[in-house]
Amino acid sequence: MAKTRPGRKDLDSYTIRGTNKIVRAGDCVLMRPSDTSKPPYVARVEKIEQDNRNNVKVRVRWYYRPEESIGGRRQFHGAKELFLSDHYDVQSAHTIEGKCLVHSFKNYTKLENVGAEDYYCRFEYKAATGAFTPDRVAVYCKCEMPYNPDDLMVQCEGCKDWYHPACVGMTIEEAKKLDHFVCSECSSDDDMKKPQATFSASPGADGKVDSKRRKR
């Protein structure tokens, strides 16, 4: 644990200015960017300190949005996806705008309703090199892409694989009306269009297709 500097003291909590919301070490927060046209930064509070002038500082570990990473945003990155980086910083506590929740990918996919304060993280990210941990993820569909929880997918009961509607020649609207689905590989030539499998909205976080190493 980092030592407290002379003239500073550790605080157990900090109340966000203008609110009754209390921040403690371990909480995730939204921090005001210098460019107000950008969305707030997301960080995990590691430590809260106050100096002898009563200025409160927070040591934070930054979350990166996909577009802030070296590889940029990819098709499988969800709108609420974040990467936990190895980039630490010290900021004024006054730049904290609010609190948020960064869920595990598994827990996020189980949410019945996703609120504005809900995010998820499935990768850790090295800011200097652009490397991700883990470097293997489950891939789905003919396109062999990781699961994006924002995208509708349909499951074939025959092979249990999940497919993007567009990858199997369907529109989103057509997929939403399906009661059953069977992929072409599982249907016979005589039986291609008969309903044989149950429709589901999306793969769960535990759904597994052959894991493949992918560049992000």
User: Residues 157-215: pLDDT tens digits?
Assistant: 888 899 999 999 999 999 998 888 998 888 754 354 444 333 344 565 444 333 333 33
Considering its fold, how many domains does the chain have in total?
2
Residue 88, pLDDT > 50, answer yes
Residue 81 resides in a domain: yes
Domain identity same for 121 and 19: yes
Backbone angles phi, psi at 50, to 5 degrees: -130, 135
pLDDT, position 112: 92
Domain identity same for 110 and 181: no
Residue 36, pLDDT > 60, answer yes
Residues 6+ apart with CB under 8 A from 200: 153, 154, 155
> Residue 58: which domain range?
6-131
Domain identity same for 24 and 117: yes
Residue 141 resides in a domain: no
pLDDT, position 195: 42
Residue 131, pLDDT > 80, answer yes
Residue 67, pLDDT > 90, answer yes
CB 64 within 8 A of CB 26: no
Residue 123 resides in a domain: yes
The fraction of the chain above a pLDDT of 90, given in percent, is: 70
Domain identity same for 122 and 183: no
How many Å apart are CA 179 and CA 181, to the nearest integer?
7
Residue 85 resides in a domain: yes
Compute the average pLDDT of residues 54-78.
Answer: 95
How many Å apart are CA 112 and CA 114, to the nearest integer?
7
Domain identity same for 11 and 115: yes
Compute the average pLDDT of residues 106-112.
Answer: 94
Residue 94 resides in a domain: yes
Residue 205 resides in a domain: no
pLDDT, position 69: 95
